[in-house]
Structure 1
């Protein structure tokens, strides 16, 4: 699985709101590249924590707008045979920037 929310790149979709989701865990998804490929708008109104563990191909969360008013950190854990960064909370302005920052560290 390369993405969780399927959408064609360039396809314009309505905003998808996750009003009650407060925790998102992406764990042991070896081929996950992104949450969504398209330019969808997502609102995670109650999301307080995102955990990313053992997702070595993750590059970005989504190409669209992501609204996460309660989210201030992402927990990451990897080791992939000691490519480092284990057990750390990270935040770089928004969810996409944080995921992209973490991916750059892995390269």
Structure 2
């Protein structure tokens, strides 16, 4: 499955696997679609951030280019009886240069909402 998302953060780091061996891994943070949720405690509105562990080389490839609008190819897998989307390929389409989101609105709105 392929879709376009805004990646706002990427990093690499060392971690220990199940056998205790140090391995290099990556992490990206993806901005969700805008949400409006309500429950008995109130209403929330905005964007959640998904923090996703990815292969080291995938994160390393886009460090220095994020935040950016990216084509992300996901692989669907089962983990603990739940379907999980794992990014397998990330291609930067357009770096977001400005901290002023109003300057980016026209460009970002051209991508499917």
Same fold at TM > 0.5:
no
| RCO higher in structure (CA 8 A, sep ≥6) | 2
Please report the TM-score for the alignment, with normalisation by the length of structure 1.
0.23
Please report the TM-score for the alignment, with normalisation by the length of structure 2.
0.22
Structure with the higher fraction of residues in strand conformation: 2
Over alpha carbons, which structure has the higher Rg? 2
